Structure 1
Amino acid sequence: MSTLRYLTQDQVDQVRSIAYLIIPGFLSAQETEELLSHSKQLLDDFDVNDHPLVRFHTKFTTGEDNHVGDDYFLTSGDKIRYFLEEDAVDKHGKLIREKQKSVNKIGHALHELDPAFRKVTLENESLRALVRDLKFHRDPVALQSMVITKQTQIGGEGYTNPPSALGFWIALEQCTQYNGALSFLPGSHLTVPLTKRFIRLPEGKGTGFELLVTPDEEQKIKDGIKDDYVLEPCKPGDLVLIHGSVLHKSERNTSANTRFAYTFHMIESPPFAVYDEKNWLQPTQAMSFSHILEEAAYVDNSYGLQG
């Protein structure tokens, strides 16, 4: 067994058993404050008048039945774009609140195009050491990245064959039960099968959900899930590793405090996995998916990427 450089064996085992792990203080206080300030500066610099929700009244959401995957969303994989709350504008395309409080997400190529986020994601030796210790992937690539603002009073990973998504979620502000801290159903990656996935629909019809089981089977699975979610408050700078198949959620922010977080996803690359052409986010000629490690690493097959 190779020597661990960043994680302990207990931490590696926890990711395998319950499918998430909190790493306190992954970023220093200074690094965290710089990313938070930079995120707020991005909001200040955002020209909302160029946004299609304002210009053309075009809505898009990852909700169950109301996602209209227009070009602004589907072509955001190699750009930095701003996604507004559904009710951020009125029927005339006018903002109903200040622009900084209207954006719920900035994405999806921050890790590629923004130097501050690139440094944390693609130029981070601590991250590389962590990835090597986990042995979750042989040759991981960064798929997408986002700043999620979780504004006050406001409430899709890519699919590979085999499934290989791993989320990296970094708190930029204090996360509590009142402002949308994450909750997890431990071990659900082993007990609850995937029932659907978010995909790019054919023939330019936007995006939607593809059922992986019959509707009756999906309902039976839902009925069998126990509400044993564990709330996991976080401090600024804490990193949460999230297995792509573990059930997790974030409640409405009922506090007076925002909950900024930076998140990105890591997947396996060919020839170790095939990236599905149905995924909404696809590599482009301008930007392929960047490799995390300088070398392909051995992966412990007992981990169970199929989990």
Structure 2
Amino acid sequence: MLKDFFRKQRRYATIPSQDVKREIPEGIMQKCPRCGTISYAKELEKNLKVCKSCSYHFSLSAPERIAVTVDEGRFFEYDADLKSLDPLEFPDYKNKLRKDMEKTGLNEAVVTGEGTIGGYPVVIGVMDSRFRMGSMGSVVGEKIARAVEQAATKRYPLILFSASGGARMQEGVLSLMQMAKTSAALERLHRERVLFVSVLTNPTTGGVSASFSSLGDINIAEPGALIGFAGRRVIEQTVRQKLPDDFQTAEFLLKHGQLDMVVPRTELRQTLIKILELHANGGNADGKRPSTL
């Protein structure tokens, strides 16, 4: 009896069956790629998809970005029907576009329109990195140029959120031409003395960083955002020097004068409202808030 009582018991591990695993819905938990903290997806959304442990900023889709920035129910989309063609007959390009449309529910990598932020009317454009990595093709450039023209005509401040891998390779030189088109449209906006606020999010690279996203009257970035033209390895091979660890981050660009502010996402809407308020009051002798949409 005593021998049996003190005998070492074997320990067994229970492995859940595949049926049990299937009962756990996907997307309930999300792991931070920087610090590894696992959070409930709903809690992460309440914090605007910013990790509470390390402040890592997860990507936002265009609809999510609009929802957390624009006043509720005060957004009216422009040019939602514009879709890319396949001018170069690039292999499998049409099929990839179709899949991205199904996956995102969008027709292109940017959503443009007008709405209000804190009661102030604005024209807004938001790029979506889920659609061809937010690359800028002919339609993206056209939609942004049209949004700029609307801002100039209505004299509404323009706010553009960039999230892009650069120009779209499947459209070749036609995508590169969008750099000139968008920059020329912004030059007209500048002549009309209409405010342009550029918000650079992770990532903003290639032809987008080298054109409209860097031309704001005020350039803002989210913390830790990757911003640059060529990749780190290409630059190091060209200059034959080791680059700083924080090279091409929002903080590095702020330190070297390419950005005006680095603003956490949880403070970004209030920062935009403050900028719009200062701009509106500066343009009105009576200091009254402009009429809303």
TM-score computed with the length of structure 2 as normaliser: 0.26
Higher relative contact order (CA 8 A, sep 6+): 1
Larger radius of gyration: 2
Higher helix share: 2
TM-score computed with the length of structure 1 as normaliser: 0.25
Higher strand share: 1
